[in-house]
Structure 1
Amino acid sequence: MIEVKNVYKSFDGVMVLKDISTRFVPGMTNLIIGRSGSGKTVLLKSILGLFEIDKGEIWYNDRNLVQMHEKERKKMRREVGMVFQGGALFDSLSVAANVRFPLDMFTTMTTKEKQNRVEFCLEHVNIEPAAYYLFPSEISGGMQKRVAIARAIALNPKYLFCDEPNSGLDPETATVIDKLIQSLTKEFQMTTLINTHDMNSVIEIGESVLFISKGEVGWQGANKDILQTGNKKLNDFIFANKLYAQMRKEDI
């Protein structure tokens, strides 16, 4: 579990996060949503320790990130998998080599053990063996995201962070990626945080949803309740995203 307590964060005197408190539960897809500039990315990076917060606490189970020394933080980050917005695969490495990269960097596994782990992870994201030795430029955007997810789980993380994992994907492929992340979260009981503005993701897999509005908690709850909140700011966000999704579908 990750727990955020009364977190504040500012840049150059401008307050970006204001008294944020929430919990992210293992085995559940925890979504952070909000408009561009709402503070959701700053929150995600603060939880990761990429930004130092001004005030508050960030707990990884019984460990307070704020009080950790750098050595402790490095050890903790080995328990974290990250899926970046653009996938961030290495163009010069094959699919299999991309997934093996963190194993080469952070483990003392034998070559055979690494190979087994790579194959295990790729099988779990439904990548066929024929694609293992292709390069990122030779596979589709959806496959690239699946490879990125395989790499993120290579070290068997306790925590999985996904920054706009559906960015640049068509709606059908985006749903496949959503369901894959949800399935892996439940199978491995990870604490998964997904930063997104995609309402389709919220409706499909939003078991726990945190809505950030102007740096504050605007609403928290489950996707089954999100359309009946009566929260004007949340409803405006939902309507804007539904309208965009409809326009996108018509363009396709």
Structure 2
Amino acid sequence: MIEVKNIYKSFDGVPILKNISTVFEQGKTNLIIGKSGSGKTVLLKSILGLYEIDKGEIWYNKRNLVATPEKERKKMRREIGMVFQGGALFDSLSVQANVRFPLDMFTKMSAKEKQNRVEFCLEHVNIEPTKFHLHPSEISGGMQKRVAIARAISLNPKYLFCDEPNSGLDPETSTVIDKLIQSLTKEFQMTTIINTHDMNSVIEIGESVLFIAEGEVGWQGTNKEILQTQNEKLNDFIFANKLYAQMRREKS
């Protein structure tokens, strides 16, 4: 579980996050949604510790990240997996070498143990052994995202962060990625936080949804509740996403 309490963040005196409080539950897919510029990316980076907040607390179970010395923060980061928006795979490395990279960096595993872990993670994201030797440029965008997820779980993290994991993917592949993240979250009982603007993801896997509007908590609930809301700002966001999805379908 991750809990944020009354956090504020500003840049050059301009407030971006204003008194944000929420809980991201273990074993659930927790989604952060909001318009561009709403503060959702700043919130994600603040929770990760990439931004120092002005005020408030960020609790990883019983550990307050804000009050944790840098040496201890480094240890905490080993408990975190990250799926970046573009995948961020190393072009010069093979699929299996990309997944092995965190193991080489942060563990003292033997070569055999690393290989077993790499194969375990790739099998869990449905990558066939015949693809292990290929490079990112030789596989599809959807497969690249699956490799990125395999790399993110290679260190067996307690916490998984995903920044726009469906960016650049078609709707069918996006659904596959959503379901994969949800399945892994439940299997390994991770606390998963997903930053997204995709309403399809919200409906498919939004077990807990936080809507950020102008740096504040605009709404919180589940995917079953979101379509019944009378929240005006949230409904505007949902409607805008429906129009975007329709335009994308018409162009394809």
**TM-score in terms of structure 1 length:** 1.00
Q: What residue identity is the alignment partner of 1:51? A: Y
Q: For 1:169, what is the secondary structure of its paired residue? A: coil
| Structure 1 residue 49, shift from structure 2 partner | 0.3
| Structure 1 residue 229, shift from structure 2 partner | 1.0
Aligned pairs (5 A) from 1:99-114: 99-114=99-114
2:193 is the counterpart of 1:209: no
| Structure 1 residue 246, shift from structure 2 partner | 1.0
The corresponding residue for 1:222 is: 222
Q: What residue identity is the alignment partner of 1:204? A: E
Q: What residue identity is the alignment partner of 1:125? A: V
Q: For 1:100, what is the secondary structure of its paired residue? A: helix
2:25 is the counterpart of 1:25: yes
The corresponding residue for 2:128 is: 128
CA–CA distance in structure 2, aligned partners of residues 33 and 146 of structure 1: 22
| Structure 1 residue 37, shift from structure 2 partner | 0.2
Q: For 2:197, what is the secondary structure of its paired residue? A: coil
Percent of matched pairs sharing the same residue: 86
CA–CA distance in structure 2, aligned partners of residues 77 and 9 of structure 1: 21
Q: For 1:193, what is the secondary structure of its paired residue? A: strand
String of CA shifts for 1:120-167, please: whole Å, max 9, x gaps.
000000000000000000000000000000000000000000000000
| Structure 1 residue 210, shift from structure 2 partner | 0.1
2:46 is the counterpart of 1:59: no
What CA RMSD, in Å, does the superposition of the two structures yield over aligned residues? 0.3
| Structure 1 residue 75, shift from structure 2 partner | 0.3
The corresponding residue for 2:145 is: 145
CA–CA distance in structure 2, aligned partners of residues 245 and 124 of structure 1: 30
String of CA shifts for 1:160-207, please: whole Å, max 9, x gaps.
000000000000000000000000000000000000000000000000
Aligned pairs (5 A) from 1:167-178: 167-178=167-178
CA–CA distance in structure 2, aligned partners of residues 19 and 245 of structure 1: 32
The corresponding residue for 1:92 is: 92
The corresponding residue for 2:8 is: 8
| Equivalent residue pairs, number | 252
The corresponding residue for 2:36 is: 36
| Structure 1 residue 76, shift from structure 2 partner | 0.1
Gaps of 5+ in 1: none
The corresponding residue for 1:249 is: 249
Q: For 1:81, what is the secondary structure of its paired residue? A: strand
Q: What residue identity is the alignment partner of 1:50? A: L
The corresponding residue for 2:191 is: 191
2:163 is the counterpart of 1:163: yes
Q: What residue identity is the alignment partner of 2:60? A: Y
Q: What residue identity is the alignment partner of 1:183? A: S
| Structure 1 residue 116, shift from structure 2 partner | 0.2
Q: What residue identity is the alignment partner of 1:59? A: W
CA–CA distance in structure 2, aligned partners of residues 133 and 86 of structure 1: 21
Q: For 2:177, what is the secondary structure of its paired residue? A: helix
The corresponding residue for 1:235 is: 235
Q: For 1:228, what is the secondary structure of its paired residue? A: coil
| Structure 1 residue 251, shift from structure 2 partner | 1.2
String of CA shifts for 1:40-66, please: whole Å, max 9, x gaps.
000000000000000000000000000
**TM-score in terms of structure 2 length:** 1.00
CA–CA distance in structure 1, aligned partners of residues 239 and 11 of structure 2: 30
CA–CA distance in structure 2, aligned partners of residues 179 and 194 of structure 1: 13
CA–CA distance in structure 2, aligned partners of residues 231 and 148 of structure 1: 35
CA–CA distance in structure 2, aligned partners of residues 168 and 112 of structure 1: 35
